[in-house]
Amino acid sequence: MENPFKFGTIVEEEYFTDRVQEVAYIEQFIQSANHLVLISPRRFGKSSVVAKAVKQSGRKNITVNLQQATSVSDLSAKLLKELFKVHPLERVRHLITHFRVIPTISTNPLTGSMDVSFQPGVDGIVLIEDVLTLIEKAHSEQDRIIVVLDEFQEIRDLAPKLDKQLRSIMQKQKNINYILLGSQESMMTDIFEDKKSPFYHFGELMRLGKLPHEDFHQYLSERLANCFVETHEELADRILDYTDCHPYYSQQLAANVWQIGMLQPSTSDPVQKAIDYIVTTHGLDYERLWMNFNRTNKWILQRLVSNKPLQSGEYRTSTIYSALKRLKKDGYVIYSDHYELEDPFFKEWILTNNK
Ligand SMILES: Nc1ncnc2c1ncn2[C@@H]1O[C@H](COP(=O)(O)OP(=O)(O)OP(=O)(O)O)[C@@H](O)[C@H]1O
Ligand SMILES: [Mg+2]
Residue 221 CB–ligand 1 contact under 6 Å: no
Residue 209 CB–ligand 1 contact under 6 Å: no
* Together in a domain, 337 and 223: no
* Together in a domain, 83 and 123: yes
Number of structural domains the chain divides into: 3
Q: What is the mean pLDDT of residues 210-231?
A: 95
Number of Cβ within 10 Å of residue 128's Cβ equals: 23
Residue 227 forms part of a structural domain: yes
Please check the confidence at residue 355 and state whether its pLDDT lies above 80: no
* Together in a domain, 270 and 136: no
pLDDT score, position 265: 87
Rounded distance, CA 220 to CA 236, Å? 6
- Residues with CB under 5 Å of ion ligand 2 are 47
Residue 183 CB–ligand 1 contact under 6 Å: yes
* Together in a domain, 133 and 190: yes
Please check the confidence at residue 184 and state whether its pLDDT lies above 80: no
Residue 4 forms part of a structural domain: no
Q: Which residue range forms the structural domain that includes residue 268? A: 213-281
* Together in a domain, 238 and 293: no
Atom 24 of ligand 1, residue of closest alpha carbon = 43
Kindly report the CATH number assigned to the domain that includes residue 29: 3.40.50.300
- Report the b/e string of 63-72 with b at 16+ CB within 10 A: bbbbeebeeb
| Closest ligand to Cα 50 | 1
Rounded distance, CA 174 to CA 176, Å? 6
> Which of 177, 207, 237 corresponds to the end of one domain?
207
DSSP 8-state code for residue 140:
B
Residue 293 forms part of a structural domain: yes
> Which of 182, 207, 232 corresponds to the end of one domain?
207
Query: Residue 206: in which H helix or E strand, if any?
Result: strand 204-207
Per-residue confidence at 305, pLDDT binned at 50, 70, 90?
Answer: very high
Rounded distance, CA 102 to CA 110, Å? 24
- Which residue type, as a one-letter code, is found at position 164? K
Pocket residue to mutate for ligand 1, from 43, 63, 66, 211, most atoms within 8 A of Cβ: 43
pLDDT score, position 283: 96
Residue 245 CB–ligand 1 contact under 6 Å: no
| Closest ligand to Cα 13 | 1
User: Pick the residue with more confidence: 110 or 257?
Assistant: 257
Per-residue confidence at 108, pLDDT binned at 50, 70, 90?
Answer: confident
Please check the confidence at residue 17 and state whether its pLDDT lies above 90: yes
DSSP 8-state code for residue 4:
S
Q: What is the mean pLDDT of residues 242-253?
A: 97
* Together in a domain, 70 and 29: yes
* Together in a domain, 242 and 139: no
* Together in a domain, 301 and 243: no
* Together in a domain, 241 and 273: yes
Residue 11 forms part of a structural domain: no
Atom 17 of ligand 1, residue of closest alpha carbon = 10
Please check the confidence at residue 111 and state whether its pLDDT lies above 80: yes
Residue 13 forms part of a structural domain: no
pLDDT score, position 317: 93
pLDDT score, position 278: 98
Residue 8 forms part of a structural domain: no
User: Pick the residue with more confidence: 311 or 10?
Assistant: 10
Residue 14 forms part of a structural domain: no
Residue 2 forms part of a structural domain: no
pLDDT score, position 89: 87
| Closest ligand to Cα 40 | 1
Query: Residue 89: in which H helix or E strand, if any?
Result: helix 89-96
pLDDT tens-place string over residues 134-183: 999 999 999 999 999 999 999 999 999 999 999 999 999 999 999 999 98
pLDDT score, position 239: 98
Please check the confidence at residue 215 and state whether its pLDDT lies above 90: yes
Kindly report the CATH number assigned to the domain that includes residue 296: 1.10.10.10
Residue 16 CB–ligand 1 contact under 6 Å: yes
pLDDT score, position 195: 95
* Together in a domain, 232 and 346: no
Q: What is the mean pLDDT of residues 238-249?
A: 97
* Together in a domain, 84 and 149: yes
Compute, in angstroms, the gap from residue 150 CA to the centroid of ligand 1. Answer: 13
Q: What is the mean pLDDT of residues 10-28?
A: 96
Helix, strand, coil share of the chain (percent; to 5): 55, 10, 35
pLDDT score, position 62: 98
Please check the confidence at residue 129 and state whether its pLDDT lies above 80: yes
pLDDT score, position 186: 78
> Which of 250, 281, 312 corresponds to the end of one domain?
281
Decide: 124 and 72 in contact? Cβ < 8 Å.
Answer: yes
* Together in a domain, 75 and 181: yes
Name the least confident of 62-66, 222-226, 286-290, 312-316: 312-316
pLDDT score, position 230: 92
